[in-house]
Each structure stands twice: as C-alpha cells, then as structure tokens.
Amino acid sequence: MSRDRYERIKRVLDVTVAALVLVLAAPVMAATALAIALTMGRPVLFRQSRPGLHGELFELVKFRSMRAEGDPLSPLHDARRMTPLGRWLRATSLDELPSLWNVLRGDMSLVGPRPLLPQYVPRYTAEQFRRHEVRPGVTGLQQVRGRNALAWEERFMLDVWYVEHRSLLLDLRILAWTVVTVLRRDGITAPGSATAHEYRGVPVPDRTREPAR
C-alpha cells in the first residue's frame, strides 16, 4: 500500500472510530465529568498547548486529574496534586477520552507519538524531532512498550521507528496492544514519580575535563 493511500485510510479510520467511541462513551464521560466537578471542582477539562504535526501547536483536551497548582511561589508537587480519582482515571486511561475530540479536529490521530510539552521541542535532536513528521497519537508504540517506565532515549527511538515503519497493520496491532496495556495498567508512572520525569535534552559532554587515556 502506498504511503498516500495509507494516510487517507488512516484518517477515515481516525474519524470513524473517534466519533463512534465519543457517542458510545458519552454516559461514561458525563459521569466522569460529574465526579471531577464534585471532588476537584471546575474546570473538569485540562487544556494545554502541545506540539503536533510539524511541531505546530494545538490545544490538547483531557479530563483533569490533579488539583490546581496552588501558590505560584510554592507550587505543589504532582504527587500531592494527584487525587485518588485522578490516579484512577490515569490508570484506566479514561482521562484520555476527551482527546478523541482532537482526533476529530485533525490535531491528533488514534495512533502516533504522544504529544509532549512545548518546552521539550528546543531540546530535541534533529533525529528526535522526526516524531513530528506524523500527527501525535492518543496511543503509540512507546505507550505499549513501557509507557512512562521507559527512559526518554528509548521512547524517542520507538517514536522515530514508528514514523519510519508506520502502516495500517502496525496501527491496528498498536490499538490491540493498547487494550492489553490499559487492562494490565503497565507503565502508568515513571519510577519515583507520580507522572513522568522531565525531559532535559541530550547531555552535553563536559569539554573542560581531560579526556580519559
């Protein structure tokens, strides 16, 4: 199958599945929104700019899973902001359901590299930036190969591998693996973190030190 035909079929699949799931999951989303409003207050949705296709920013929409940051001079850590309900929403991936709206809009795909924070973009190598050659995904290869438990280098390697080898069959396999990963609740958080560690870029060699002989 040519790459152009794959992209057209992938877009039809994205819109069809996202619309169908949004309709079928409407009662679950309504109950989730009510539970968030009662336990964390409003807003119930989390909105944040993320880099998408070719690095262009879009507004990602998810269900909120943490309390507000509080005092800007003394912000709370993620572990203290995360509520039991938020932890459960992340474990079950129900917090991702509103992101299907991003799929309908064309900001995202069902499968692709996860959209990361805008401040990470200047820290990418040229190879790592290749993850933006495709739309970001609700799920992706690194999501089913270890998720937040993987080191950043492994995550970027998997993202670029997906970009180079993407196909309809691979997308369907990733969607199937996603169901298993969610049921097993693998890799929800990074070791020692309530969410994920910050990506600080590729370490720059210390050129002031004498090379080892």
Q: How high is the pLDDT of residue 73? A: 54
Residue-level length of the chain: 213
pLDDT at 138 over 80: yes
Omega within 30 of 0 (cis) for the link into 43: yes
Extended strands (E) in the chain: 45-51, 57-63, 109-111, 137-139
Residue-wise pLDDT for 12-44, tens only, equals: 999 999 999 999 999 999 999 999 999 888 899
Eight-class DSSP state of 186: T
Q: What is the pLDDT of residues 54-94, one digit of tens each?
A: 999 999 999 998 877 665 555 566 667 788 888 888 888 89
Alpha-carbon span 85 to 34, nearest angstrom = 12
C-alpha to C-alpha distance for 188 and 63, rounded to whole angstroms: 16
Query: Which range has the worst mean pLDDT, 119-123, 128-132, 142-146?
Result: 142-146
Return the domain boundaries, the chain: 3-184
pLDDT for res 139? 93
pLDDT at 69: 65
Q: Give the other-Cβ count within 10 Å of 92's Cβ.
A: 14
Q: Which tens digits make up the pLDDT trace of 158-208?
A: 999 999 999 999 999 999 999 888 887 766 666 656 566 788 887 655 555
What would the pLDDT profile of 140-157 be if each residue is shown by its tens digit?
999 888 877 788 999 999
Which residue is it, tokens 């390697």? 157
- At residue 48, what is the residue type? Q
Instruction: Report residue 144 CA to chain centroid gap.
Output: 12
